[in-house]
Structure 1
């Protein structure tokens, strides 16, 4: 089935994961700590900072018509209240490059990484952060807004709540195992695989005391509240306030820009006796955000797999299920299910801003894309306002605490030379736009 004529079909990246040498960010500092939970530092990543034109041209040549990328706050405002005109010029150039190759730039203003100075003020649990974020948004939109049609304020605004939930689940699991004198969780059932971001939860929990001491040396606080930290209820609301202030700034300057945020959403499927728990999970993951996004032009839907929910919560992956490198179940049908469910309560446009798998077998990525896009096409056929599909990711890149071990990309990168090797999945995704 053909997609609509003006449908955006593209791929996504995040600045810290691809640009390299993001030395003013909180994550750069955390990667280089002695008691880090990162497998390895990002360093020069895949050098997208210098090779963005090559990458955008590869995207365009394959037939894709849109590129979702993020602007790095730590580059734009490396010190509080001090803005870097050179960093702004760089993003001007990236946007211009997109247009040179007929690609629609779809910009995200915050994708997990933040300026290091923000952490010294209390990070994403500080009452001052929404205003700090709004100041940055005002500045960058004054500089770049005239060139843009689509802006995501915050990527996966619900990520910290999800991390907090799996941390609590992990603690309960460990307590139960100690009481039963059991060993570690079975392979493939680790809590790490139930959140849609690369984290090393076990290492984080083991290193808490040592990390607190080192945090004081590096950041001046015992607990670093970065964006993907275990979020409190108060912190969750602060993120929504930051989004609302950012939207206000954008609309005041450029009322025609389409503004929204993105959420990490699972296809939550209740199993026998798990109906009430599944409803609670969906409220936590999506419904309670509705009052804060009702004035948005769109919602960015980000989905990778499903969650099976029993009476006591998350169930292990089904016996014999195909798993990705991230321990997600290979389940591309989840995207269609999530789009249909979200559309029941959110009545703006829906943009698929991330969907994909980490795998070394590109034939499985092709199969995943095919199934996912057929689901998107079915939603459109039934009248749902789905306007885009951005595959995660354009490049094999730095997958946060998992380092470079996870391969999500449509393009492989030999990091010893930074040579690009487009995969068949890139061509296949582009074929949907022909």
Structure 2
């Protein structure tokens, strides 16, 4: 029987801005509403997880799952610089307490892409001052809630800005102004790479909205300089130090977006470069971390001329990247060669309108995780992305990653078969289920 141990964490993940709704003090809310916005639609009420978190977590519990990864929204906690909102801390305390009351392990992310609007006006993620600001925010949250947070991911997908920068450079080199199928596989989250459309209007509005030169508007998902890369990792180190000062028992880590980079003959140098850019160059900043969050959705194949584009025979997900659940196990093996501490799969999933396809994806992905455990790799948990169909950033609400569908006109929840399937794997194992 291929059964995960009772200690192994299996559950699902969300991010605050994507599910809570009405995150009015955040940079993303601002960018969603400016003239020429590059967002398909605004987040608005999202799926109202802010008010319906008990119902949503209960659905996770009823399916037999034992772990919930979610983010605390900095823009709610500190809506204005230096002004912390006790009511919002109380809200997240209630979420955490509900998890503990129901034997659900919370994995908390302190920053999942969205930031306070004021932070961007102060220079954002290319400013040295953000290191201190993020440290102050982290210390405040942990001083109030740390006893309820066994695991903290400081920053979600710390390498995402670098991946976006690569896409922009490729687009510039190709003279392309529009997203296409080949570009859509580049980023593992819902980012529209049509960055040049309506750019003049958009950037003028950006500058007006944040009160600064539009060239200095640096959200977390803006193309990033090398200086910005260092600032991100210093933010992580600062947060980790603050967390450990307040509560040394908390396990602290960070998450990365990692592809399964595969080489055809002659493609090996490209794979080595991508692996170094995506992960290896960050290792010096992680030496004092307790765990690593691995996030994987697909693979990239590299030949002697670089990235090999998908063709009409490639099975694609709704997001436009290859359906390849085995990528997760391969990435875990790669990471384990360079990381000997615990690993948590903090995101892995598929956008599809066919839930049978999601079931297939989950089983094949978790079969890879189980094989890694048998090989001795120190994986301690898996949280599927995502618990709910949600706001997929610039792509709006059309993408469907969730284990639970939501009718946003009524905010009614409709659990999918894949939710109970994941719970069955947690409790019955992989044998005897779908082959």
Asked if 1:413 is matched to 2:435, the reply is no
**Equivalent residues of 2:184, 2:321 under 8 A apart:** no
CA shift at 1:210, angstroms?
1.8
SS in 2 for 1:320: coil
**Equivalent residues of 2:47, 2:390 under 8 A apart:** yes
Q: Corresponding residue for 2:388?
A: 395
Match of 2:371 among 370, 378, 384: 378
Q: For 1:18-33, what aligned pairs fall within 5 Å after superposition? A: 18-33=19-34
RMSD: 1.2
SS in 2 for 1:338: helix
In 1, the alpha carbon distance for the partners of 2:52 and 2:185 equals: 31
Asked if 1:51 is matched to 2:44, the reply is no
In 2, the alpha carbon distance for the partners of 1:310 and 1:168 equals: 19
Asked if 1:254 is matched to 2:255, the reply is no
Cα deviations by residue, 1:14-51 (Å, 9 ceiling, x for unpaired): 00000000000000000001111100000000000000
Q: For 1:214-253, what aligned pairs fall within 5 Å after superposition? A: 214-221=205-212, 222-223=214-215, 224-253=217-246
Match of 1:195 among 187, 190, 200: 187
In 1, the alpha carbon distance for the partners of 2:375 and 2:394 equals: 39
Out of 85-94 and 316-325, give the one that drifted further.
316-325
Q: Corresponding residue for 2:431?
A: none
CA shift at 1:9, angstroms?
0.2
In 2, the alpha carbon distance for the partners of 1:147 and 1:136 equals: 17
Q: Corresponding residue for 2:342?
A: 349
In 1, the alpha carbon distance for the partners of 2:211 and 2:193 equals: 23
**Equivalent residues of 2:147, 2:247 under 8 A apart:** yes
CA shift at 1:247, angstroms?
0.3
**Equivalent residues of 1:56, 1:101 under 8 A apart:** no
CA shift at 1:188, angstroms?
2.8
Q: Corresponding residue for 1:117?
A: 118
Q: Corresponding residue for 2:35?
A: 34
**Equivalent residues of 1:294, 1:346 under 8 A apart:** no
Asked if 1:334 is matched to 2:327, the reply is yes
Asked if 1:301 is matched to 2:294, the reply is yes
Out of 92-101 and 400-409, give the one that drifted further.
92-101
Match of 2:199 among 208, 220, 228: 208
SS in 1 for 2:181: coil
In 2, the alpha carbon distance for the partners of 1:207 and 1:353 equals: 34
In 2, the alpha carbon distance for the partners of 1:271 and 1:318 equals: 16
Asked if 1:12 is matched to 2:28, the reply is no
Asked if 1:129 is matched to 2:121, the reply is no
CA shift at 1:381, angstroms?
0.7
5+ residue gaps, structure 2:
428-435
**Equivalent residues of 2:347, 2:385 under 8 A apart:** yes
SS in 2 for 1:432: helix
Aligned length: 424
Cα deviations by residue, 1:178-233 (Å, 9 ceiling, x for unpaired): xxxxxx77x632x132111111111x212322222112210012132100111111
Cα deviations by residue, 1:105-125 (Å, 9 ceiling, x for unpaired): 110000000000001111100
Q: Residues 269 and 318 from structure 1, CA distance in 2 versus in 1: closer, same or farther, beyond 3 angstroms?
A: farther
Out of 191-200 and 264-273, give the one that drifted further.
191-200
User: Deviation above 3 Å: which 4+ runs of structure 1?
Assistant: none
In 1, the alpha carbon distance for the partners of 2:184 and 2:201 equals: 21
CA shift at 1:410, angstroms?
0.1
Task: Provide the TM-score with structure 1 as the length reference.
Answer: 0.96
In 1, the alpha carbon distance for the partners of 2:302 and 2:235 equals: 31
In 2, the alpha carbon distance for the partners of 1:50 and 1:85 equals: 17
CA shift at 1:326, angstroms?
0.8
SS in 2 for 1:117: helix
SS in 2 for 1:194: coil
CA shift at 1:310, angstroms?
2.3
Asked if 1:139 is matched to 2:131, the reply is no
Cα deviations by residue, 1:270-317 (Å, 9 ceiling, x for unpaired): 123211111101100010000001211100000000011123332212
In 1, the alpha carbon distance for the partners of 2:353 and 2:106 equals: 28
CA shift at 1:383, angstroms?
0.6
